[in-house]
Structure 1
């Protein structure tokens, strides 16, 4: 499986038209860059509380299914990444009041790339039960997405075709 290529100009690329340029990468890589999918999914992505997370994850789940119906693996994988990001961001807010996990600024050459980059992790605050429940809601949809038989088949076909 290819690494996500951050050197491509995703603002100018339409990955619906050029799916061969997409690399699944690891985790949430590219979730906020790959067009047109980012612009289609991002407006539905919210995790402030369980009600919001439920509505959001259901909308993104429906988009995931629609992309699979159309055979658009890139869109389905992007929807999967948004479900995963709903979980990870809600968990971050559940563990760290205000959502700030690391101390200090992100170095300029590491903006947009996840990780601590040498910064110390801030201490965890008492768990926020509202954000923890929002995370659980997204986790259930994310788990369902990565286990979906059509997703797995399209993923295998995509990897076989494009690497």
Structure 2
């Protein structure tokens, strides 16, 4: 099932109501789903490879702790933060200042990723610092999405609540 953007994310506690969570595609909901956003976001940084390594290892540790607690939603959110560490660092590696698209996001698309009809800006020469930070997150993201316990819990979650 697709990610449900119609929920009132200011009031839903997904730890208490995991049945409302949907994995969705990619990073959908990464900055919406509480209490996980509040638990993970303070650790999410990618400015330099050193900062990215410390951030990624902390988030991967949270990922493992959520798995151990049988909290799939938390584990999936940590996985999404690792993915977002990769994608955002790559964006900054490819586009000085991190702006990928020209023009503002349409009001009805705020909070959702994608071009939404906007043109992609030209790439700038690659920033090697951001590229190295992205590689650190990519390694951890790949490790998380292939983790046997994550794969098991995801299949169980999707069988119980739908894809």
TM-score bin, normalised by smaller chain: over 0.9
What residue number does 2:52 align with? 53
Give yes or no for the alignment of 1:117 onto 2:128: no
> Which segment drifts farther, 109-118 or 150-159?
109-118
Shift of 1:98: 0.1
> Which segment drifts farther, 81-90 or 107-116?
107-116
Count of residues in correspondence between the two structures: 162
What residue number does 2:152 align with? 153
Shift of 1:11: 1.2
Separation in structure 1 between the aligned mates of residue 45 and residue 128 of structure 2, nearest angstrom: 16
Separation in structure 1 between the aligned mates of residue 60 and residue 136 of structure 2, nearest angstrom: 12
Please give the TM-score of this superposition, normalised by the length of structure 1. Answer: 0.99
What residue number does 1:7 align with? 6
1:64-105 CA distance string (max 9 Å, x none): 000000000000000000000000000000000000000111
Q: How does 1:1-163 map to 2 (within 5 A)?
A: 2-163=1-162
Separation in structure 1 between the aligned mates of residue 70 and residue 141 of structure 2, nearest angstrom: 19
Shift of 1:107: 0.8
Q: Which sections of structure 1, spanning at least 5 residues, go unmatched?
A: none
Name the SS of the counterpart of 1:98 in structure 2. Answer: coil
Cα RMSD of the aligned pairs, angstroms, is 0.4
Separation in structure 1 between the aligned mates of residue 117 and residue 20 of structure 2, nearest angstrom: 31
